[in-house]
Structure 1
């Protein structure tokens, strides 16, 4: 199980569509913050770390929504929205990882 975080518990205290709207806004603000911090000269590892944390946060929100649905506290639409957002974030992270591995292998094959 993914560890519970304070943001997830704060989201689970809310009811209805406000929860989904806040989760979407939080993930969008994290990605926007990551892009802005990348432009300010942060290192590549800092940018990758912040993107990874954003993906984990989306997964934690989706897990919290799933548990709330099992308890009967969340609407089906909210759960589906959270799961779709988490799935999209995870697919993006996997695609970025694949590109990084491919680039590393190409560099490793170069003759010096």
Structure 2
């Protein structure tokens, strides 16, 4: 499954992974942030989507590594749980986004021409 996500991430027109870090949400901290268009005018929907897929893939791989380290006894339980919870959140976000895209496609296909 990770390979499939990696293939989706490689579809991005711009492979600037560093740009995704500038789009991290700071609303949970109560800080305001400029819109993505103002901070980086070259960002396209495809690059944002590719960066999201890359981040999700990274979180899942990190959780897998931490799980193996936990089994071997080299990582503590808290690190393993945090990594797995972050991977689960990334996966749930990806699933919700996929559902919204499919729903939008179905709505468009129902439109009369």
Output the TM-score relative to the length of structure 1: 0.67
1:44: which partner in 2? Answer: 45
Residues of 2 paired with 1:55 and 1:92: CA distance?
Answer: 9
1:60: which partner in 2? Answer: 61
2:83: which partner in 1? Answer: 82
| 8 Å Cα contact 1:62/1:82 also seen in 2 | yes
Q: What RMSD over aligned residues (CA atoms) do the two structures have, in Å?
A: 2.6
| 8 Å Cα contact 1:38/1:47 also seen in 2 | no
Higher relative contact order (CA 8 A, sep 6+): 1
Stretches of 4+ moved more than 3 A in 1?
29-32, 34-38
2:93: which partner in 1? Answer: 92
Residues of 2 paired with 1:32 and 1:111: CA distance?
Answer: 41
| 8 Å Cα contact 2:20/2:48 also seen in 1 | no
1:72: which partner in 2? Answer: 73
Higher helix share: 1
2:106: which partner in 1? Answer: 105
Structure 1 unaligned runs (5+)? 4-28
Residues of 2 paired with 1:2 and 1:89: CA distance?
Answer: 13
Residues of 2 paired with 1:97 and 1:81: CA distance?
Answer: 24
CA shift digits 1:33-58 (9 cap, x unpaired)? 34689432422111111100000000
